[in-house]
Amino acid sequence: MSYNDLKFPFPKWFLNLANLRKFDLRGNSFSGAFPLELGRLKSLEHLDLSFNALEGQIPELAGNFCNLKILNLASNKFDGEIQDLLGGLTSCLNTNLESLDLSSNMLQRELPASLGMLHNLQYFCLYNNQMNGSIPESLGQLSQLTHLDLSLNSWGGFLTEAHFTNLTRLKYFALGKVTPYPILPIPLIFNVSYEWVPPFMLHTINIGNCQVGPTFGAWLQSQTELAFVKLHGAGISGAIPEDWFSKISSKVYYLDLSHNQITGNLPLQLKFPNALILDLSHNQIHGPFPLWSSDNVIRLELETNSFFGPIPMNLDQRFPQLVALYLSENHLNGTIPLSICNLKNLLVLSLRSNELSGNFPQAWSLLQEIWVIDVAYNNLSGKLPNSIGVPGSLFMLKINNNNLSGEIPLSLQNCTSLRHIDLGNNRFTGTIPSWIGSNVPLVSILRLRSNFFTGHIPQQLCNLGYLHILDLAHNNISGTIPKCLNHLSALTHGNLSAYDLYSYYDQQTSVVKVTELEYQAQTLMLVKSIDLSSNSLEGEIPEEICSLLLLHSLNLSKNQLSGNIPSNIGSLQWLEVLDLSRNRLSGWIPQSLSSSTFLSHLNLSYNNLTGRIPLGNQLQTLTDPSIYVGNPSLCGVPLSTKCSEDDHTPTKDNDHEDTNDKLWFYISMALGFIVGFWGVCGTLLVKKSWRYAYFRWFDDIKDKVMLAIALKMARTQRKL
């Protein structure tokens, strides 16, 4: 009865099925506590309540559940300890349980030693819970166990040879936290001798971010029947044993040895007839590019190593089914082989940070489905081929930091799915195409810095509602800053495309705080920056720029901008970096700037600013006088130039505030006089009875005071 919409309570006739052996209720809408009335089904051998919304303490299951062989409670919301569950199951005189799946719940605390009493257990899965503490050595008593998955928990302590003593039938072993990004190792260490050979022969080993190394021990080398290998971030160093690697190559379909410290060379010639994934990235492997081959590999990852030499010219013949090729951050040289354009299924090409030279292959039109092209940080030259814009699915184009020249191909306007364009640090010429804001409306990162672009900033860029990084610095762009920048909704109220959650593990260089910072993809989407520095822009800074409330960094330095700094610049509350240096700005520094809470880098040097530097809040922490140098008419802290005593109006804003203060002071004085004088004296003049009463009261007070003085003087005379 799986995958319906069943809810509690059970119909009564369910519980009258006395001979029921298998009850499959997975994927329904059951909620609340575990239904203990199922205990009336005393013949149950197989109970599956997975993929529901059951919650609360995991049940004890004592007594009437002694015939259970298979229990699946995965993907619910059970919490607490599993001590009671295992205690109830082991209380039966003859424990028949063969399979126990508690994965994807919220179970906590340690794994009890009573686990070792489930002598018939073959399948045990605790994947994705909140278990912690050490793993009991009684695990090694489960002699029938073939499948053990303890991954995605927070175990600690040591695993010793005693934990595996009788696991002679173990085929599947998963442990640790395997993630696509490197994380700190969890405090779980394999403490076995180098010579130890385990009693099992695994088909699957899936270990992530546990301390398995530092050596590639004999227990790993003995596992030669592996079809699935994942030793991600396992602290393994040294060379991979060539004999072991050659043996598993004929059987393995998934191989991940990434994020270790593996060194040495790899076997140069190997075939992987069954492999789908080969990942040896983020190690210290050196040597020439391995001449491997496989008819089935869809993802080849060798990035962040020390491979050298050319990429094989017949790459399409060696890996004809490639979908993703990651070769970045190595020492590969030569040209990009033309054969890459023959990989019909290729979606991701990452060749970043190598020593590749020559031109782009001209046959990019053959790559009809390519998503990501990243060839940044190489020595490529020549012009971009017009065929590069034929595919409509191109998502990311990163060719920055090369020696490419010419104009941006018009054919790129056909790539309506483009989200990320980075052509920075090349020799491109011509104007910035207006079609970027019209034909390619989903762009969220546009980086064209350090080229030779001329002309004006096209108004069409304001149509890019998802744009959160705009970098046009270090070009020859002239004209004014568009006033329509307040239409960039990703910088005004956080309009982010779902496609900004990059599935591609990307790196982006962004110039912030005058230094180049590397952002990973998961943080890059949070960066909001505009850099138009080192151009020939003129005119005033538009007030509309103060509407970009989410902006983190604004750099307009080294232009020919004039006029005043916008008075509402302080409304950019998230601003961390503001650089307006080396322009022709005049007037006062707005007082509103002192209200910027997060401002940590400010540069207003070499302008024509005047008056007193405003104080308050974050500005008081910016004590470096060089950020104001080159403005001879500025005065006040932190400059050594003091403001004159008669300079009571150091800024335009202060002048307005002081005028208002004086006005209200005089008004309050006048009102006080009117209310005080006429409130007392006016009533005495108007009302005769009050006037007589006032003077009588005054005469009484005068008589009492005179009497008190006379008595005091008489007492003093008596004492004398």
Q: Is the pLDDT of residue 668 over 80?
A: no
The domain boundary residue, chosen from 586, 617, 647? 647
Partners of 518 in the β-ladder? 509
Residue 153 is predicted with a pLDDT of 92
Q: Is residue 698 part of a domain?
A: yes
Encode pLDDT of 15-72 as tens digits: 888 899 999 999 999 999 998 888 888 899 999 999 999 999 888 876 778 889 999 9
Instruction: Please tell me the distance from the alpha carbon of residue 186 to that of residue 191, in angstroms, as a whole number.
Output: 14
The whole-chain average pLDDT of the chain stands at 87
* 661 or 192, which is more confident: 192
Domain holding 661, by residue range, is 651-685
Lowest mean pLDDT among 279-288, 441-450, 470-479, 711-720: 711-720
Q: Is the pLDDT of residue 414 over 50?
A: yes
- Please report which residue ranges of 223-283 form alpha helices under DSSP H: 242-249
Band (699; pLDDT cuts 50, 70, 90): confident
Q: Is the pLDDT of residue 648 over 60?
A: no
Region 460-488: mean pLDDT is 94
- Say if residue 550 is in the same domain as residue 622: yes
- SS (HEC) of 370-407: CCEEECCCCEEEEECCHHHHCCCCCCEEECCCCEEEEC
The 286-288 sheet, strands edge to edge: 286-288, 306-310, 331-334, 355-358, 379-383, 403-406, 427-428
Instruction: Please tell me the distance from the alpha carbon of residue 592 to that of residue 191, in angstroms, as a whole number.
Output: 61
- Say if residue 641 is in the same domain as residue 700: no
CATH of the domain at 553: 3.80.10.10
Region 572-591: mean pLDDT is 93
Asked if 473 and 449 touch (Cβ cutoff 8 Å), the reply is yes
Rounded (10°) CA dihedral 343, 346, 352, 354: -20
Instruction: Please tell me the distance from the alpha carbon of residue 597 to that of residue 582, in angstroms, as a whole number.
Output: 25
Band (683; pLDDT cuts 50, 70, 90): low
Region 311-338: mean pLDDT is 95
Lowest mean pLDDT among 70-79, 555-564, 679-688: 679-688
- Say if residue 493 is in the same domain as residue 616: yes
Kindly report the number of other CB atoms within 10 A of residue 192's CB atom.
20
Q: What is the largest CA-CA distance in the chain?
A: 130
- Say if residue 630 is in the same domain as residue 664: no
Four-residue CA torsion sign, 673, 676, 677, 678? positive
Q: Is residue 544 part of a domain?
A: yes
Our count of domains for the chain comes to 3
Q: Is the pLDDT of residue 353 over 50?
A: yes
- Say if residue 678 is in the same domain as residue 701: no
Region 254-283: mean pLDDT is 94
* DSSP label at residue 293: B
- Measured in whole angstroms, the distance separating CA 5 from the mean position of its chain's CA atoms is 37
- Say if residue 703 is in the same domain as residue 638: no
Lowest mean pLDDT among 96-105, 606-615, 668-677: 668-677
Amino acid at 704: K
Partners of 177 in the β-ladder? none
Lowest mean pLDDT among 169-183, 305-319, 328-342, 517-531: 517-531
Residue 658 is predicted with a pLDDT of 54
Encode pLDDT of 116-159 as tens digits: 999 999 999 999 999 998 999 999 999 999 999 999 998 989 99
Residue 8 is predicted with a pLDDT of 87
Residue 646 is predicted with a pLDDT of 42
- Say if residue 613 is in the same domain as residue 495: yes
Residue 609 is predicted with a pLDDT of 94
Residue 346 is predicted with a pLDDT of 93
- Say if residue 550 is in the same domain as residue 631: yes
Residue 636 is predicted with a pLDDT of 87
Region 361-372: mean pLDDT is 84
Nearest to 127, CA basis, from 75, 78, 205:
75
Amino acid at 560: Q
- Say if residue 707 is in the same domain as residue 717: yes
Instruction: Please tell me the distance from the alpha carbon of residue 55 to that of residue 30, in angstroms, as a whole number.
Output: 10
Nearest to 332, CA basis, from 280, 378, 268:
378
- Say if residue 591 is in the same domain as residue 659: no
pTM (predicted TM-score): 0.82
Asked if 622 and 599 touch (Cβ cutoff 8 Å), the reply is yes
String of b and e for 46-63 (b: at least 16 CB within 10 Å)?
A: bbbbbbbebeeebbbbbe
- Say if residue 613 is in the same domain as residue 487: yes
Residue 670 is predicted with a pLDDT of 72
Residue 383 is predicted with a pLDDT of 92
- Say if residue 632 is in the same domain as residue 705: no
Residue 501 is predicted with a pLDDT of 40
Token couple for 593: 């700037």
Partners of 554 in the β-ladder? 530, 578
Band (185; pLDDT cuts 50, 70, 90): low
